Structure 1
Amino acid sequence: MSDFHDAFHRALDGPPDGLSPWLTLDARGLAGLSVYRNTATRGRIEALAANYPTVVQVVGEEWFTGAARAFGRQHPEADAVLAACGEAFPSFLTTFPPAQSLPYLAPMARLDRAWTEAHLAPDDGPGPLHPSARLFRFGWSVPALWLAHRYPDQSGAAMRWAPETQAILIHRPQDGVRARLLTEAEWTVLDSIRRGLTRGAVMARVLIEHPHRDYADLMAELTAWGVLYSQPEQTP
């Protein structure tokens, strides 16, 4: 049966010739296959929309459906399982012609994807960052715009598109995924830890780049958010 399942899966996105050992490829057989194709396509579009709700809000269902169909043609092996669907969708939007006039769309899709990854991340990891933590920094107000659609009550959420450097943290400290804009000092600490800098190196960056912020206070704040397990290790 595995050979049949593999052939059937390929036939959903391409020529049905591989099904000839099991299916009579007459008008009736092809009509039945068409029903399955339509059902599979609809399922993939719905799964993609569930993983990219902010993109759907921005462009509308009709536009999104067209984009999802085009994405499916380029990525025919895309998994319709909700958790796995559309990993390459943000990259696809960077080259999708109708999206070229919407420069905020692909980065917003990246944040939608990060939300899904944070939601599915394990509860525990080697640290010091929580395994769900996703960090981004943009030269435009993508984070504020994304928050305005996904977390409209969050501080910093704003329906604007401007050349403003913004950083954002998406993580799941407990049961729910959270997102927040980061100050430059908060970004410096989290990005430094993500890149594996030692405690001394992180402290030095804070002292040099943000002399008005206290390192200990920053670490206490980030730990209270649930994004840090512990401080990075100091070198011997």
Structure 2
Amino acid sequence: MSRLPELQRDFAAALVGRPSAMAARVVEDAIPASARVQVYADHFRTSLIETLAAAFPVTHALVGEAFFTQAARDFVLRQPPRDPRLFMYGGDFPAALRALRDLAGHPYLPCVAAFEWALHQAYHAEDAVPLRPSDIGDAAAMAKQTLALHPSAQRLDTPWPVSEIWQVHQPDAPAIDSIDLKQGGEQLLLWRNGIELCWRKLNAAEAALIDTVLAGKPLAKAVAQAMLQAQSTGPFDFSASFAWCLEGGIFRRPG
């Protein structure tokens, strides 16, 4: 009798298109063994394609059902889940799209998918008490602190205006004629404030501030990096930027 790990390996292989070993283990009746195995394989693939479509609805809408289904099917067969939690599945899908030669006339598709995955991660991230203005005490002491971003916070840099592309595909979005794809990219911060998903386009100095905080540096160092960046990219108002950070709940309260 085969050991369980061997049986599991054969079953997993059958799910991604290599059914022969598993079919040999199945007792045939009115339905051939290979067909019985295929029932499980079809359900496995369909369920995961639907999972990807739910996580990447705008990506799906941009390219249509046929293109998305084929791209998702190829992804499922090459990169099946490694985590039992289905909401964790799909993190490598933007990279898989980037590797495709044909993007159905949508060169920005992988970046839109990365934006959607960042929103997905923010939605499913653990909760934490945010740092609020009332928590701020002595400014000198605060400058020496190492702040942490909220667990839901995600940083994304993209050469395309992906937040605008995503926004026009929302049900309540106003109709517009077109988006200027040549307007340049975006430096984005995405996070969850309570139950609300949020994102903000950062200027270069704000991006430097957030990235330095993410690197585990004290707030004073983050401000210095932002000021240095501002010398080449334009004015930086730390007070205004720090205010929206606090009001938006992007920092985690220590302790």
TM-score (norm 2): 0.76
Q: 1:213 aligns with which of 233, 236, 244?
A: 236
CA separation in 2, counterparts of 1:151 and 1:173? 22
Does residue 200 of structure 1 match 2:220?
yes
Q: Which has the higher contact order (CA 8 A, sep 6+)?
A: 2
Counterpart for residue 8 of structure 1: 11
Counterpart for residue 144 of structure 1: 164
Counterpart for residue 234 of structure 1: none
How many angstroms does 1:224 deviate by? Answer: 0.4
Q: Deviations over 1:165-192 (max 9, x none)?
A: 3211111121132223223343232122
Counterpart for residue 191 of structure 1: 211
Does residue 89 of structure 1 match 2:93?
yes
Counterpart for residue 179 of structure 1: 199
How many angstroms does 1:93 deviate by? Answer: 0.8
Q: 2:51 aligns with which of 47, 51, 55?
A: 47
8 Å Cα contact 1:168-1:182 kept in structure 2 = yes
Q: 1:31 aligns with which of 12, 35, 39?
A: 35
Q: Deviations over 1:62-101 (max 9, x none)?
A: 2101111121232245668531222211111111222274
CA distance change for structure 1 residues 152 and 212 in 2, over 3 Å: closer, same or farther? farther
SS at match of 1:172: strand
How many angstroms does 1:23 deviate by? Answer: 3.1
Identity among equivalent positions (%) equals 25
Q: 1:117 aligns with which of 101, 114, 121?
A: 121
CA separation in 2, counterparts of 1:25 and 1:75? 32
Counterpart for residue 138 of structure 2: none
SS at match of 1:97: coil
SS at match of 1:59: helix
Q: Deviations over 1:91-135 (max 9, x none)?
A: 111112222742201111111111111112111389521111001
CA separation in 1, counterparts of 2:239 and 2:170? 32
Q: 1:99 aligns with which of 103, 111, 116?
A: 103
Does residue 73 of structure 1 match 2:77?
yes
Question: How big is the alpha-carbon RMSD for the aligned residues of Structure 1 and Structure 2?
Answer: 3.1
- Shifted more, 140-149 versus 113-122: the winner is 140-149
- Shifted more, 34-43 versus 22-31: the winner is 22-31
CA separation in 2, counterparts of 1:54 and 1:215? 34
CA separation in 1, counterparts of 2:118 and 2:250? 15
Q: 1:20 aligns with which of 21, 24, 38?
A: 24
- Code of the aligned partner of 2:14: A
Report the number of matched residues: 228
TM-score (norm 1): 0.81
SS at match of 2:152: coil
